[in-house]
Amino acid sequence: MAIRPILRMGAPVLRAVAAPVADVTAPAIRALADDMLDTMAAAGGRGIAAPQIGVSLRLVMFWAPLADPDSRSRDHAVFTILANPVLELVDPVEVEDWEGCLSVPGLAGRVPRARGLRYRGLDLDGAVVDRLATGFHARVVAHECDHLDGILYPQRMTDLGTLRFLDAADPVQD
């Protein structure tokens, strides 16, 4: 387990489509997940994707609320590790809200995202994860999965005029 450097916007791996995880139960994938967790925790993030630490594989992890779709508190959030995720829109109405990113440090912007989606993938034991997500939960999942397709949140913004620098007291987080 190690804290790895988080790549920043401009790194080529962050612009690439990540490869599928061939064997989610492989010890190397569990070690990668451990490093991702340590790195995310050290940075104070809500989620992280393998490309953010330089590994072009379709693996994400995140804290997202299940009960209250608009809650940003980790007190009522579930931790999820997801390999080879697939997203399906279930409520395509877009809602705009603030997003930040560990790979775009010190900035936040308003990003439109679908209000509801279904996500499927595998956990590290090979079990299927299949959930519906709305509100903030859907936003977190979509943000992390975007990393697997080489997309950073500024590419989703419709008004770059909302891009701003964060203060230490600003609540916007990844």
Q: Where in the chain are the domains?
A: 12-165
Integer CA distances (angstroms), 86 to 43, 123, 129, in order: 26, 13, 10
Q: Which residues are catalytic?
A: 144
Mean pLDDT computed over every residue of the chain: 92
Distance CA 72, CA 57 (A): 27
Contact call for residues 77 and 173 (beta carbons, < 8 A): no
Contact call for residues 104 and 8 (beta carbons, < 8 A): yes
- Structure pTM? 0.90
**Residues 6+ away with beta carbon under 8 Å from 65:** 71, 72, 73, 76, 77, 78, 135, 136, 137
Q: CATH topology for 12-165? A: Peptide Deformylase (3.90.45)
Bridge partners of residue 104, in order along the sequence: 101
- Residue 75 pLDDT grade (very low, low, confident, very high; cuts 50, 70, 90): low
Bridge partners of residue 121, in order along the sequence: 129
pLDDT (tens digit, 9 = 90+) per residue, 108-163? Answer: 999 999 999 999 999 999 999 999 999 999 999 999 999 999 999 999 999 999 99
